[in-house]
Amino acid sequence: MDGEHIHIDGIVQGVGFRPFIYRLAREHALSGWVRNSSRGVDIEVWGPEAARDAFAQALGAQAPPLARITAIRRRMLPANGHDPAAGFVILESQEESGFTLISPDVATCPDCLRELFDPADRRYRYPFINCTNCGPRFSIIQALPYDRPATTMARFPMCDACRAEYENPLDRRFHAQPNACPDCGPHIWLEMAGAPRAERDDALRQAEALLLAGRILAIKGLGGFHLACDATNHDAVLRLRQRKERPHKPLAVMTPDLATVRRYCRVSPAEAEALTSPAAPIVLLFARADTDLSPAIAPGQDTVGVMPPYTPLHHLLLRDLNRPLVMTSGNRRDEPIARTNDDAREHLAQLADAFLLHDRPIHNRNDDSVIFVADEHPVPIRRSRGYAPEPIQLAFETPEPVLALGSFMKNTFCLLARDKAFLSQHIGEMDDVRVWDFQIESIRRYLDLFGVRPARISHDLHPDFAQTADAILAQLPGLADLPRTAVQHHHAHIAACLAENRVAGPVIGLAWDGTGYGPDGTIWGGEFLVADLAGYRRVGRFAPFALPGNEAAIREPWRIAVGLLSRQDARTPGETDEIFASFAPLREINVVAEQARRGLNSPRTSSAGRLFDAMAALIGLRTRVTYEGQAAMELETLARTAPSQPAWAIEPEDMADLYEIPSQAIMQRALANLRSGVAPAVIAARFHQTLIAAAAALVERIAADTGLREVALSGGCFLNRILLTGLTDALRARGFTIYTHRHVPPGDGGIALGQAAITAHTHRSPLTAH
């Protein structure tokens, strides 16, 4: 009798892999064992060669739905008196050096859902039902290997019935670490004004009554708290916005099932697939008109972010209430999402009328992920719960582990080791000390969980970020003195796109976003780069313009429009001009025009995002914004109401430089249209088409110069569907190969991957000069 050792890499823990192996080995009459190691799963099988081959083949072909096998390695074993009568067994986990992969949290599976609503089941209406195919994973894991004592379930000893399931290899709950039931597991309760009001199903019923009465609830979920209210109760939604100090930014909605989603939104097959996937993200869908959803959910937008119930508690709430709920992150403005019961009691007391709590601790905080579907593929807007910490598989191996600290906005960090990039869950805006603390704590956990010691640190080129890095690394023992690489923001965007597409470049990279520090000290944001993973050259850009008043221009984009349209020879841009007069008092407009002309507190920028803002302001759509990207998103929505508009004709004489998108000429066309009575929606649409045409022409010019035929699109502007699909189509029609984002966000949430990839290459093969 011959034996062999099989090692499997990938996400193979906590996904029902060992029972699957157990059944498979018995099916093929093989003896031996299977064991989780901290590096994956190890198997030893003994039996005839044909049976072992059939077994190895079935391993890959029939693996459980949540498993992700990245490698299977087989090696013959010396004959050693193995006794086939010992059968096939599951051994205890073993610790080793190296890293293993951790499953993200998984939405409730159909089997558990059936049991949840089956009055005969012992887990009928139990809010923590789960099995090997679903339930919490990353959010409860404290250490590896993934066994119950290393999770926040350690405090709940299993009852006899649960223990029997857990120990039976043929049971769906075999080694399901969070396995629990009403007798032995976590439970829920309701608190109001600091006092417990009800427990278990009673708590749920009272919570539902409060929601129906228009109250706002803080609900403890999988990766953090939500603030919830009835999405069809306009007053409740307005109250939630007021308390959260969030006047306009869209709120996510949870709906009972797919049929309900279709009542409120149009859903394509690819969108339905995303909504029913184990990751259960928020999906941005086009909203139907005239539904009973509060208009305050996504003001100014034609889309609404919808997510499915993804825990048993959500399923109970949503099915009982049979209506959509607003479910927005449970945090105060700019703070991280509340994680512990005490966090919520302290930070959400002014926001919530009641608290629906439970006693299963959340170890790793994890916000909801957000995606949209373009070209029948999901594009991440925020990659977090359900995805992190699953690594991005790369086409290269880094010579040394790298820790990349990411960006100021929508921060994530990235740990790069071997050929895997562990992009963290969403951390937040790095302008609050609590967000810093969250980043520091999460970095520490990733380093421990994956057993990686970085050899180099990567961060943004912005001079302020060097100081931020100092402050963060000072709290991470051993990291403060590591060598550092500063990476340009837009190069990082393109590198992130290349890395996830597993291409090395060079490519023509279009990195369009709001703001990033340029090595010339100006603000970049509408860049055409020739780039690979080692370096870049800037070969084109949006013609730079002034941001009069700097930060003020970002909050009040009418200032940018005035700056772009104020004439060099005139003292005021439009003393008698109604269009300008609508922005602000004339005196203020004159001050802004003067600021722009003389360059007083008016940094120059090539930002595409800021040009979108200026256009939205000019046509009177949005002169003052309350969240990043608001004006641009509203402009996109408006443009969709006027389909099939032609681009404005841009002549070479409009262009001071053939390698620039003529920002000023485009604004002047819009102003001329506006003065001759063209509808704002038509102007918005022509603006989009003009950018697409001008960008395609400039790419053609760069391609002629360089011979490159591959183009990467990255940066937050490519969350704009008109721009993304329009430019992709235009460039494909000209024969270019296009790389876009599918796995990490085009926006700043993907920056850390690019920083890490560049840092891994810069010290190995400097192909191009900075």
Residue numbers at the binding site for Zn ion (CB under 5 A): 109, 112, 131, 133-134, 159, 162, 181, 183-184
Distance between CA atoms of 652 and 646, rounded to whole angstroms?
A: 18
CA–CA separation, 636 and 721 (whole Å): 8
For Zn ion, the closer CB: 102 or 112? 112
Give the residue with the Cβ less far from Zn ion, 135 or 540. 135
**Contact by Cβ (8 Å): 421, 390:** no
Q: In a 10 Å sphere around its CB, with 0-12 CB exposed, 13-18 middle and 19+ buried, how is residue 333 labelled? A: exposed
To Zn ion, the closest distance from the beta carbon of 276 in angstroms equals 14
The secondary structure of 386-438, three-state, reads CCCCCCEECCCCCCCCEEECCCCCCECCEEEECCEEEECCCCECCCCHHHHHH
Instruction: Report strand pairing: 40-47 vs 31-37.
Output: antiparallel
86/161 with CB nearer Zn ion: 161
Cβ neighbours of residue 468 under 8 Å, at least 6 residues apart?
A: 405, 408, 430, 459
Cα(696)–Cα(682) distance, rounded to whole angstroms? 21
**Min. distance of Cβ 185 from Zn ion in angstroms?**
6
Minimum distance of Zn ion from residue 176's CB (angstroms): 8
Cis ω for the linkage preceding 104 (within 30 of 0): no
> Can you read off the two tokens belonging to residue 301?
């937008």
Minimum separation from the CB atom of position 115 to Zn ion (A): 8
Min dist CB 16 to Zn ion, Å, is 9
Helix axes 630-639, 680-706, angle to 10 degrees: 100
**Of 114 and 555, which has the nearer Cβ to Zn ion?**
114
Contact by Cβ (8 Å): 424, 71: no
How many Å apart are CA 422 and CA 402, to the nearest integer? Answer: 10
CB of 129 to Zn ion, least distance (A): 7
Identify which of residues 188 and 692 has a Cβ nearer to Zn ion in the complex: 188
For Zn ion, the closer CB: 112 or 427: 112
Nearer to Zn ion, 181 or 227 (CB): 181
**Residue 260 C-beta: closest distance to Zn ion, Å:** 22
Nearer to Zn ion, 106 or 356 (CB): 106
Supply the DSSP symbol for 134.
Answer: B
| Shortest reach from residue 194's CB to Zn ion, in Å | 31
Handedness of CA 118, 122, 126, 132 (dihedral sign): negative
Distance, in Å, from the CA atom of 340 to the CA atom of 338, rounded to the nearest integer, reads 6
Nearer to Zn ion, 134 or 327 (CB): 134
Distance (Å, whole) CA 170 – CA 140: 25
> Cβ 161 to Zn ion, closest distance in Å?
5
